[in-house]
Structure 1
Amino acid sequence: MSDVVITVRGEHETRIAPERAVAHLTIRAEGPERGAVVERIAAFTEPVRDDLASRKIAGTVLEWTSQRVSVWSERPWNNEGKRLAPVYYATVDFSVTFTDFAVLSWWAGEVAEREGVQLGWIEWKLTPETRAATERDVATQAVGVAVSRAAAYAGALGLGNVTPLEIADVGLLTRPEHPEGAQAPRVLMAKAAFSADSVGGGPAVQLQPDDIVVSSAVEARFLAR
């Protein structure tokens, strides 16, 4: 039998527990007077900033950031179709990174009780070092799957020698003019499932993060003889 070119795809994924959590919250105030709204948002925001600064010094918060105050107005309509007086709104967004999820649970329960505070969503992440190492391992495993498939196809044809010719992310091997189809190692961020439970002393939020999925897919071309 003459030489045969074999093209295969290799895939691999792994699941790993999150190492960091980034909580997003918004502080909001509204009212009929701009000055009063700005004062209210400052009053709501200051204790949250002070608390986070203290937690960072204590080491229970890895880092935190806040945006500048956004202030705008809207003129609502009444049920008779008339424009009413302006209503002013102000918001400040925070993001807070935790490494201790038990601390996060208590903090989330406490901060959600503050006036004007809306706890948004929580991102579960890996450290950059863990993410890089996991992506390398997943990519290596995906290549191994491609090699095994090529060897299996060659064996089914009665060919024993398999030589790699090309390997690439999905989409780059056969259609290099369309790199947007590539599927390099990727991380699917876990989402938070949380429920409030303050029974038994103190506010708390029960956080149940899913594992983070890291996956990779490659295409490879081999020459079988």
Structure 2
Amino acid sequence: MPTEFTVRGSHAAFQRPERGTVQVTLAFEGPAMQPVYDRVVNDLDAVTSSIHPLHDPERGPVTWWATQHVRTWAQRPWNQDGKQLPLVHHASVGVQVKFRDFAALATWVSGHVAGTAGFRLDGVTWALTETHRRELEQAVRTRAVQAAARRAQEYADALGLGPVRPVAVADAGMLSQGIAPVSTGGAAYLRMAAKETGGGAELELSPEDIEIAVDVDARFVAD
């Protein structure tokens, strides 16, 4: 009777990011809506004007960018004594800018942090190009399957059995009934710090390596 082995194979690879998408918000508040709205629109014009000379989909340093619609709202806050205060009007708009040149990214962000009053950096999403990511995922998945086969053969060798042969391979968790695939993809994070230099505060953007990790489950038998 064949002996069955169910094993999990894993592999991970790390790669420096190739793109960084900056997410920023331009926002103001005040006692009247029109001045608040006009200030956000004026700052948005200044920010988009700074992007246009950098934008080149093929060569960068900016390969893509987008803006949202300006959002407005009002609220009546309360003070610490429980008294309701006059209306405060708000206006904001989000902007996303994808860079392939990270030095240009840091320069662009630093310039607006220092020179645009309503500019807020919400974060940076680091990524690979889609083509490179698919290639890396394929290579990592192949290594994970090879790791599973190697583990099954090690079990068989420990029992004094012959070569194993595969009967099933699946994403992690799918060989067990009622269990969904297990996600093992790593995440890339943004490290931000303000460091003091001779000329004042400098914004430091340091992307972490992107982790591509794959787990596979496989079933083998040895006759």
- TM-score for the superposition, normalised by structure 1: 0.91
Per the alignment, residue 155 of structure 1 pairs with 157
Alpha-carbon distance change, 128 to 34 in structure 1, aligned in 2, over 3 angstroms:
same
Shift of 1:199: 3.4
Task: Supply the distance in 1 between the matched residues of 2:161 and 2:206 (Cα, whole angstroms).
Answer: 51
> 1:202–1:96: structure 2 CA closer, same or farther, 3 Å change rule?
farther
User: Shift of the alpha carbon at 1:54?
Assistant: 2.1
Q: What residue is the counterpart of 1:6 in the other structure?
A: 5
Structure 1 alignment gaps of length 5 or more: none
Shift of 1:105: 1.2
2:173 is matched with: 171
Aligned residue number for residue 33 of structure 2: 34
**Amino acid paired to 2:216:** V
Change in 2 beyond 3 A, CA 1:59/1:214: closer
Shift of 1:189: 3.0
3-state SS in 1 of match to 2:212: strand
Q: Cα gap change, 1:45/1:198 in structure 2, threshold over 3 Å: closer, same or farther?
A: farther
Deviation of 1:198 (Å)? 6.8
Match of 2:125 among 115, 123, 126: 123
Paired residues of 1:110 and 1:204 also in contact (CA < 8 A) = no
SS at match of 1:91: strand
Classify the secondary structure of the residue corresponding to 1:35: helix
State the match for 2:71 in structure 1. 70
Task: Structure 2: state its 5+ residue gaps.
Answer: none
How do 1:1-225 and structure 2 match up within 5 A?
Answer: 2-56=1-55, 59-113=60-114, 114-175=116-177, 177-179=178-180, 182-183=181-182, 187-197=185-195, 199-200=197-198, 204-225=202-223
SS of residue in 1 equivalent to 2:21? strand
Q: Assess, with a 3 A threshold, how the Cα gap between structure 1 residues 203 and 98 changes in structure 2: closer, same or farther.
A: farther
CA offsets 1:100-123 (integer angstroms, 9 cap, x no match): 111111111101111110111111
> Does the Cα contact within 8 Å between 2:172 and 2:216 map onto a contact in 1?
yes
Alpha-carbon spacing, 1:171–1:187, altered in 2? closer, same or farther (3 Å) = closer
User: Taking every aligned residue pair, what percent have the same amino acid on both sides?
Assistant: 36
Shift of 1:197: 4.5
Q: Distance in 2 between the 1:45 and 1:6 partners?
A: 61
Q: 1:59 to 1:163 in 2, by over 3 A?
A: closer
Given that 1:154 and 1:160 are in contact with CA atoms closer than 8 Å, whether structure 2 keeps it comes out as yes
SS of 1:110's equivalent in the other structure is: helix
Give the Å deviation of 1:60: 2.1
* Structure 1 residue 147: Cα displacement: 0.2
Query: Secondary structure at 1:108's aligned position in 2?
Result: helix
| TM-score after normalising by structure 2 | 0.92
Q: Report the number of matched residues.
A: 220
SS of equivalent to 1:62: strand
Which stretch shows the higher mean deviation, 39-48 or 201-210?
201-210
